[in-house]
Amino acid sequence: MSFATTLRCRKCGREYPLEPLNLCDFCLSPLEVNYDYKSMAAKVHREKLAKGQFSMWRYRDMLPVEGEVVDLGTGFTPLIKADNLGNEIGLDHLYIKNDCLNPTYSFKDRVVSVAVTKAREFGFEAVACASTGNLAASVAAHAAKTNMKAYVFVPANVEPGKLVGAAIYNPVLITVDGSYDDVNCLCRQLTEKFNWGFININLRPYYAEGSKTLGYEVAEQLGWRAPDCVVAPAASGLLFTRIWKGLDELSMLALIEPVNTHMYVAQAAGCSPIVNAFQVGSLHIHPVEPNTVAKSIAVGNPADGYYALRVARQSGGGAAAVTDEEAIAGMKLLAQTEGIFAEAAGGVVIGVLRKLTASGIIKRNELTVAFITGAGPRTQDIVSGVVQSFHIRPTLESLEEVLKVPV
């Protein structure tokens, strides 16, 4: 039994049963899983959690699932102290949460593990999703693991490595002429036609909860404390809000002190509707037409943008965007200081971190966590320009020629 009680509308507070529902009938706002935190608090302790398995499922009591979970071994990824990168950009206590190290190479495994578990519980005949690439791979992999059919929809301009990265698990893979927002719109229509569990549409409230484990893990890995600053990428904005919710729940459960974390949204300048709204002091998002190499976070009309803005605002954080050039520089910097090859979304995070630090918004002594949410090797074309090697004959003389040192 989980401690989840109802789905609750984030705007008007109306409650709904724990079913595959996404929006409030009354005000069309997103629904969120609501828990019996009192009973949860009686069961969840630091010592007990510390003895759990080394995956996101060590926090099972804080997630809305009932039976056996569909798990590929996701989560409890490394939180590394990034001293080299910190030195480079002027931070004394910088950490990288490296979520490249999940089974399908992005943080999406967290949300999908919860959502596919729910799809099976609800008895859907298949799972499906609208994706910019990473979600498709994760849904297909989890469906394979639990013997369900998967229908995954991606924009036709998705990177070739992301296509193969999903196709290998043998889903029904459909590429759509249009942007992610077009794909999403099509999938919304399909929820009414098929008995499929759309991981990020009709199962979205459950999907969302998986991201809380990023907040839980970071706090536990820091010795049960929240960071001073968080920099995280936003596509729909959901992940960003759930890192915050994870930290907030821990303090509600008295596992950490009251949270005082400044939350900063990172987006690519070629698709920054949330950052744009933050900068003009508005809570209203104007959709944009994406144009950036950071395709995995290129969502022009972010469903949870409003809530991400509120978290950035209320936490005393902020929002910033970087150009593709700065994002690529961020990818190189992360790889060349910390040995982590992230995809462009990670480059955006590092670029934004650098910008916020240079302008004094994030201060040298603040304990800062940068969230790296997806791995680089599937989108390596973006940085193909870095390739430089020396070609030699298998002789000492030939090596001496290129190294220009005596061998």
Ligand X SMILES: *Cc1c(COP(=O)(O)O)cnc(C)c1O
Which residues contact ligand X (rule: CB under 6 A)? 106, 108, 134, 233-240, 296-297, 343, 345, 373-374
Of 33, 55, 3, 35, whose CA–CA distance to 220 is shortest?
Answer: 55
- Which residue from 19, 27, 314, 381 is in contact with Zn ion, where contact means CB under 5 A? 27
> 76 and 180 in contact (C-beta within 8 Å)?
no
Residue 239 binding: pick among ligand X, Zn ion, none (C-beta 5-8 Å cut-off by kind): ligand X
Q: What is the identity of the amino acid at 197?
A: G
How far apart are CB 343 and ligand X at their closest, in Å? 6
Closest alpha carbon to 214 in 236, 231, 202: 231
96 is an interface residue for Zn ion by CB under 5 A: no
Q: CA 304 to CA 291: how far, in whole Å?
A: 20
9 binds, among ligand X, Zn ion, none (CB under 5 to 8 A by kind): Zn ion
DSSP class per residue in 121-143 = HHT-SEEEEE-SSHHHHHHHHHH
Report, in Å, the least distance between residue 7 CB and Zn ion.
11
| CA terminus-to-terminus distance, the chain | 68
Pick from Zn ion, ligand X, none: which does 300 bind, CB < 5 to 8 A by kind? none
We find the least distance from the C-beta atom of residue 11 to Zn ion, in angstroms, to be: 5
Q: What are the DSSP calls for 314-353, one per residue?
A: HTT-EEEEE-HHHHHHHHHHHHHHH---B-HHHHHHHHHH
Looking up tokens 């369900």 gives: 148
By CB under 5 A, is residue 26 in contact with Zn ion? yes
Q: Distance (Å, rounded) from C-alpha 257 to C-alpha 95?
A: 20
Q: Is 9 in the site for Zn ion (CB under 5 A)?
A: yes
In the list Zn ion, ligand X, none, the entry touching 22 (Cβ below 5 to 8 angstroms by class) is none
Stretch that binds Zn ion, among 22-30, 113-121, 233-241, 340-348 (CB under 5 A): 22-30
311 binds, among ligand X, Zn ion, none (CB under 5 to 8 A by kind): none
CB 63, min distance to ligand X, A: 17
Residue 158 near Zn ion by CB under 5 A:
no
d(CA 404, CA 407): 9
Spell out a b/e string for 286-313, using b for 16 or more CB atoms within 10 Å of the CB, else e.
eebebebbbbbbbbbbbbbbbbbbbbbe
State the residue number with the nearest CB to ligand X. 374
Nearer to ligand X, 238 or 256 (CB): 238
- Of 222, 226, 230, the residue nearest 361 (C-alpha): 230
Which one, 26 or 194, has the nearer CB to Zn ion? 26
Give the DSSP H or E segment for 87. helix 83-89
Between 96 and 238, CB nearer to ligand X: 238
Q: Which does 237 bind (CB under 5 to 8 A by kind): ligand X, Zn ion, none?
A: ligand X
Minimal distance, residue 399 CB to ligand X, in Å? 40
Rank residues 255 and 288 by Cβ distance to ligand X and give the closer one.
288
Instruction: Note the residues at the interface with Zn ion (CB under 5 A).
Output: 9, 11-12, 14, 24, 26-27, 29
